[in-house]
Amino acid sequence: MKKKRILPPTFGGVEEGNVIWHRLDDIDFDELGFILSCHLIIEHYMDQFLMTGSDSKFGWDSAKLSFSQKMALISGLTFPDPYGFMPAVKHLNSVRNQFSHKLNKRLTEKDMLPIKYYLEQYVSYENKSWPVPTDFKDMLDLFTTITCSFFAGSIAARVKYEAGT
């Protein structure tokens, strides 16, 4: 049996001379971890995409660019259809930020709309017959896979081009 993790309560203020504590019993660590992991893997691919697409003399590692700065650099590029995923990546970043600052945050249908719309456009463009997932984690999984696959293909093409093969 898996042990349920419970964090210490948060301070909720003072009412009538009593301290109010809010328990954190309903944090979905699996959901939180999955969103953070999807965000981190996309950021990893964005880093590599930026590094392979620029002068190797740039100090990317020491620049310590924020995710928003990396998105701004990449958003200036034009992606071929159906890979216009940067608005959905930007939205994923805002959802990740909500999870980072709101302990009891849960994914909602509204949170997933930009990613769902992107996936629907992707499936339609590719003339795929499979349905867009309705489960939030499945949507994130597919979106992360498509996004990282595009970056991986671009990175591989750049490396081959520079090697002259």
Averaged pLDDT, groups of 10, the chain, 165 residues long: 77 92 82 94 95 79 88 90 91 94 88 94 82 93 96 90 76
Residue 38: per-residue pLDDT: 97
Residue 164: per-residue pLDDT: 77
Residue 69: per-residue pLDDT: 94
Residue 3 falls inside a structural domain: no
Q: What is the DSSP letter of 58?
A: S
Residue 55 falls inside a structural domain: yes
Residue 22 falls inside a structural domain: no
Cα–Cα distance measured from residue 32 to residue 66, given in angstroms and rounded to the nearest whole number: 20
Residue 20: per-residue pLDDT: 92
Please count the structural domains in the chain. Answer: 1
Residue 48 falls inside a structural domain: yes
Residue 115 falls inside a structural domain: yes
Residue 19 falls inside a structural domain: no
Question: Containing domain of residue 135, as a range?
Answer: 27-163
- CA distance readout (Å), 153 to 92, 96, 107, 146: 22, 25, 30, 11
Instruction: Return left, alpha or beta for 108; rule: phi > 0 is left, psi -120 to 50 is alpha, else beta.
Output: beta
Residue 95: per-residue pLDDT: 95
Residue 21 falls inside a structural domain: no
Cα–Cα distance measured from residue 131 to residue 5, given in angstroms and rounded to the nearest whole number: 35
Residue 136: per-residue pLDDT: 94
Residue 70: per-residue pLDDT: 93
Copy the structure tokens of residue 132: 């867009």
